Amino acid sequence: MPYLAWSDELDTHIPELDAQHRVMIEHVNRLAAAASSGSSRQIREAMAALADCVRQHFAFEERVLEMIDFAGLEEHRQTHRNILAELDDYRARLETASPAEAEELVDTLGPWVVEHIRHDDVDFGPTVREWLRDAAPPNDPFRQLVGDS
Ligand SMILES: [Fe+2]
Ligand SMILES: [Fe+2]
């Protein structure tokens, strides 16, 4: 059983963003597996991979929100900054954590990664989809993100 599972309520119905969110969840699951293996090298690697993935995803998502002039962009950007700062903090704490502490830390990290998707990202889904369908220039590369949904 993976530590975190995908569920429909995490769907923004924007294919590229949903694909990136799924990859983020996989990274959290890899980190959880590393934490339960007790290997500090694996934990460090999995944590670094998760942080990289989240950073790249946030930059991409913010570009999408900029494109649509999303009213909540600044607030969303600030939330992303807070999450990245928190991830840095986790990363530092994992460096020196015992195996038991590492498992505990990862247990508290998973849920808030998912909460951001569920509460904040799902909220902008309709606005992004509407823009992509109705207002995006015909050749706009972001149109591809809508797919058929
Ligand atoms: Fe996101
Ligand atoms: Fe976000």
What is the per-residue pLDDT across 45-59, written as a single tens digit (0 to 9) for each? 999 999 999 999 999
The Cα 81–Cα 65 span in angstroms is 15
CA 124 / ligand 2 centre spacing (Å): 9
The Cα 135–Cα 101 span in angstroms is 49
Say what the pLDDT of residue 147 is: 59
| 2 pLDDT tier (thresholds 50, 70, 90) | confident
Domain 13-145, CATH homologous superfamily name and number: Hemerythrin-like (1.20.120.50)
Neighbours of ion ligand 2 (CB under 5 A): 61, 121
The pTM of this model reads: 0.90
Say what the pLDDT of residue 85 is: 95
Nearest Cα to 105, choosing from 31, 11, 30?
A: 31
CA 12 / ligand 1 centre spacing (Å): 9
Note the pLDDT tens digit of each residue in 73-109: 999 999 999 999 999 999 999 999 988 899 999 989 8
User: Two tokens at 107?
Assistant: 């247990």
Beta carbons of 132 and 145 less than 8 angstroms apart: yes
| 115 pLDDT tier (thresholds 50, 70, 90) | very high
Beta carbons of 149 and 19 less than 8 angstroms apart: no
CA 81 / ligand 2 centre spacing (Å): 10
